[in-house]
Amino acid sequence: MTRLVILISGRGSNMEALFHAVDAGALPVEFAAVISNRTSAAGLATAAARGITTAVFDHTAFPDRAAFDTALMAEIDRYAPDLVVLAGFMRVLTDAFVTHYAGRLINIHPALLPAFPGLHTHERALAAGVKLHGCTVHFVTPEVDVGPIVIQAAVPVLDDDTPETLAARVLAQEHQIYPQAIRWFAEGRLQITPTGGVRLQPNRPSALASCVVPALD
Ligand code: GRF
């Protein structure tokens, strides 16, 4: 079973969407641990209530970014995850961290990348007057919000939208596409191409299943 370590900083609604997908039988993964860089992250209690191991690594207790990332890597690796899931983890990661988890570190960003990388995406989308906005799941590479794109969802921007109403519309889509992307990863179907894209491999029935002899009745 694909083992996930989830990194959060706050509310953790994307993490919860993964829980719901597992409960619905739509996501074949197990949750090894949930780690937050903030003690105040509401998602910690949600994960703990589910019986998942939680940990807090407070970045302010470390002298610099490299020291924090080194300690965080050591903690994550204790759980031997197949995939590290950034779910609202509000930290820029060092190149060393990203390289260590190359191909097994995934993020969700609340915009249609490459449009609006970085923060305050909904405000910036409204200011730019775009008619479509959305969210992106991508593998993480050293440059922030630039890695290979797995899946995106678009939503309309309405004339009377505020950053809050637009964020809510986008978030509903985030909760759809993150479980989908991670399911594809768990099925071994995501292939990062040499040009930095992601190809979705067809979902073939396993060789074992095709060898099953039908029961006689
Ligand atoms: C989401 O909008 C996500 O795209 C962004 O941070 C927010 C986290 O929300 N990276 P939640 O903690 O998952 O509710």
Q: Take atom 2 of ligand 1 and give the residue whose Cα is closest.
A: 110
120 in active site: no
8 and 49 in contact (C-beta within 8 Å)?
no
pLDDT above 60: residue 214: no
Rounded to an integer, what distance in angstroms lies between the CA atom of residue 146 and that of residue 84? 17
Question: Which numbered atom of ligand 1 lies nearest the CA of 107?
Answer: 10
pLDDT recorded at residue 216 = 59
Helix (H) or strand (E) holding 55: strand 54-56
171 and 200 in contact (C-beta within 8 Å)?
no
Q: At which residue do the structure tokens 């993150």 appear?
A: 178
pLDDT recorded at residue 128 = 98
pLDDT band at 193 (very low <50, low <70, confident <90, very high): very high
Domain ranges of the chain: 2-214
Helix (H) or strand (E) holding 15: helix 13-23
Strands (E), 37-157: 54-56, 83-86, 105-109, 132-139, 149-156
What is the average per-residue pLDDT within 18-39?
Answer: 98
Residue 113 dihedral angles phi and psi, to the nearest 5°: -60, 145
pLDDT recorded at residue 199 = 98
**β-strand 149-156 against 132-139: which pairing, if any?**
antiparallel
pLDDT band at 211 (very low <50, low <70, confident <90, very high): very low
Tell me which residue of 15, 86, 3, 82 sits closest to 44, measured CA to CA.
Answer: 15
CATH superfamily, domain 2-214, is Formyl transferase, N-terminal domain (3.40.50.170)
pLDDT band at 204 (very low <50, low <70, confident <90, very high): confident
Structure tokens at 154: 């678009």
Q: Take atom 3 of ligand 1 and give the residue whose Cα is closest.
A: 88
27 and 18 in contact (C-beta within 8 Å)?
yes
147 and 107 in contact (C-beta within 8 Å)?
yes
pLDDT above 80: residue 208: no
71 and 57 in contact (C-beta within 8 Å)?
yes
Rounded to an integer, what distance in angstroms lies between the CA atom of residue 53 and that of residue 50? 9
Q: Take atom 8 of ligand 1 and give the residue whose Cα is closest.
A: 88
What 8-state DSSP symbol labels residue 28?
A: -
User: What's the pLDDT tens digit per position in 79-91?
Assistant: 999 999 999 999 9
User: What's the pLDDT tens digit per position in 91-143?
Assistant: 999 999 999 999 999 999 999 999 999 999 999 999 999 999 999 999 999 99
From residue 157, alpha-carbon distances to 91, 127, 135 in Å are 28, 11, 13
Question: Which numbered atom of ligand 1 lies nearest the CA of 16?
Answer: 13
**β-strand 198-200 against 132-139: which pairing, if any?**
unpaired
Rounded to an integer, what distance in angstroms lies between the CA atom of residue 143 and that of residue 115? 14
